[in-house]
């Protein structure tokens, strides 16, 4: 008899790489039900509307669904009560789902041990010394670290989503976690393209409306989008398109020079146009994996990235992109010069690199792991 599989995830309230990863797990185990703290259908991928989703009692509070960070003091208790009846639970976790209790086996696919506990400045950004979020986190950290490490020990198997995350799991929990890279489908490049109306008339020196450098990112402090914008202040003959939303948006809009545009809420067709017509993607943050270079690569577009974190897994230097050394305007500007001097990239090599992170491989590897765990005593 086949084991009963369930899927756990922190919360389904946005469209990000972790939420896309859960959809791939759903395709691996199409009958599995999903357990999560919060689910806000209008803020995440529409594919979830066809799934059976179990939420916590906190999901009844609309403000928490829209922004789960507001519920931070309540989430450990809620996660500890999110009991799952299954033979094997696959927990996609960045800090909460690994704690969902079950009588079955638990495989944790870890995007990172909780950033607010172990990388708090990434979480807090530029929050001041007396910011309520900083004060609340300072008071909760000792309890949450104890709770978090105890939750990690309930897993039967840990997986890291990148080399850097596997090292972090070892440092934080003392657990050896093999790396299973998140899946990527080059199909994101397939389908119609639609120019972005806000960019009408925003042409390059040759009159074309493509040829821009591109940033696709949440607008949060640790993403360093402000430093990319500052780099382009001194590159008036180059154009930068920033796609994303977040708490930094208004500040970035106010500081952006004329050769920089910020847009959000694009359709899939507009996203394809933005990627396909870009000269290169710029990725300036310290990411745990680094999916956007693969999305750009599916369109044959190379990436200029910070030489750190997950980009070291997804970018092969001089094959599908290259690196700059520091997240500063000066280093980014120098990197743009290197990209300009490189000349045309081999688009076949760029797209081939993206294809090496296939969903088929991910699903096959995950089936093998789950099968082994389900059959173990």
Buried/exposed 153-192: b ≥16 CB within 10 Å, e otherwise? eebebbbbbbbbbbebbeebbebebebbbbbbbbebbeee
Distance CA 126, CA 269 (A): 34
Is the separation of the CB atoms in 323 and 315 below 8 Å? yes
* 188: its two tokens: 């994101």
Helix 17-28 crosses helix 359-375 at what angle (to 10 degrees)?
A: 60
Q: What is the CATH number of domain 5-183+358-375?
A: 3.40.50.2000
How many CB atoms are closer than 10 A to CB 320?
A: 27
Helical (H) or strand (E) element with 341 = helix 329-342
Strand ranges of the sheet holding 157-160, from the earlier edge strand across to the other edge: 53-54, 33-36, 5-9, 88-93, 105-110, 157-160
Q: 């997986």: which residue's tokens?
A: 159
CA distance 340 to 298: 20
Digit-by-digit pLDDT tens for the chain (377 residues) are 789 999 999 999 998 889 989 999 999 999 999 999 999 999 999 999 999 999 999 999 999 999 998 898 999 999 999 999 999 999 999 999 999 999 999 999 999 999 889 887 665 555 556 566 666 677 788 899 999 999 999 999 999 999 999 999 999 999 999 999 998 877 788 999 999 999 988 876 555 677 999 999 989 888 999 999 999 999 999 999 999 989 999 999 999 999 999 999 999 899 999 999 999 999 999 888 888 999 999 999 999 999 999 999 999 999 999 999 999 999 999 999 999 999 899 999 999 999 999 899 999 999 999 999 998 76
Is the domain spanning 186-355 CATH 3.20.20.70? The answer is no
| 221, containing H or E segment | none
Structure tokens at 108: 């944790």
Q: Could you give the CA distance from residue 285 to residue 222 in angstroms, rounded to a whole number?
A: 6
Question: What global pTM score does this model have?
Answer: 0.80
Question: What are the start and end residues of each CATH 3.40.50.2000 domain in the chain?
Answer: 5-183+358-375, 186-355
């Amino acid at each position: 008899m086949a084991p009963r599989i369930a899927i756990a995830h922190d919360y389904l309230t946005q469209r990000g790489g972790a939420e896309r990863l859960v959809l791939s797990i759903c395709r691996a185990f199409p009958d599995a039900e999903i357990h999560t703290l919060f689910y806000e259908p209008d803020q995440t991928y529409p594919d979830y509307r066809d799934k059976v989703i179990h939420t916590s009692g906190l999901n009844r509070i609309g403000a928490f669904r829209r922004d789960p960070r507001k519920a931070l003091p309540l989430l450990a208790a809620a996660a500890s009560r999110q009991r799952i009846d299954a033979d094997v639970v696959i927990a996609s976790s960045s800090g909460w789902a690994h704690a969902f209790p079950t009588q079955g086996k638990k495989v944790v696919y870890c995007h990172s041990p909780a950033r607010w506990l172990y990388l708090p400045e990434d979480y807090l950004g530029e929050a001041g010394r007396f910011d309520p979020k900083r004060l609340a986190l300072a008071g909760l950290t000792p309890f949450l670290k104890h709770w978090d490490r105890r939750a990690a020990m309930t897993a039967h198997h840990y997986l890291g989503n990148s080399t850097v995350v596997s090292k972090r799991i070892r440092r934080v929990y003392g657990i050896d976690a093999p790396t299973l890279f998140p899946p990527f489908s080059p199909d994101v490049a397939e389908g119609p393209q639609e120019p972005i109306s806000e960019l009408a008339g925003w042409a390059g020196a040759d009159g074309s409306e493509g040829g821009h450098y591109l940033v696709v990112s949440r607008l949060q402090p640790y993403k360093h989008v402000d430093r990319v914008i500052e780099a382009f202040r001194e590159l008036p003959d180059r154009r930068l398109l920033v796609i994303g939303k977040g708490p930094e948006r208004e500040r970035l809009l106010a500081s952006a020079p004329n050769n920089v545009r910020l847009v959000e809420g694009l359709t899939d067709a507009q996203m394809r146009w933005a990627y396909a017509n870009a000269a290169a993607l710029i990725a300036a943050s310290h990411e745990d994996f680094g999916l956007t270079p693969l999305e750009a690569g599916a369109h044959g577009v190379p990436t200029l990235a910070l030489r750190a974190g997950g980009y070291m897994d997804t970018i092969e230097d001089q094959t599908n992109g290259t690196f700059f050394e520091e997240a500063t305007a000066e280093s980014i500007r120098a990197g743009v010069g290197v990209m300009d001097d490189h000349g045309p990239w081999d688009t076949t090599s760029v797209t081939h690199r993206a294809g090496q992170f296939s969903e088929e491989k991910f699903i096959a590897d995950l089936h093998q792991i789950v099968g082994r765990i389900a059959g173990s005593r």
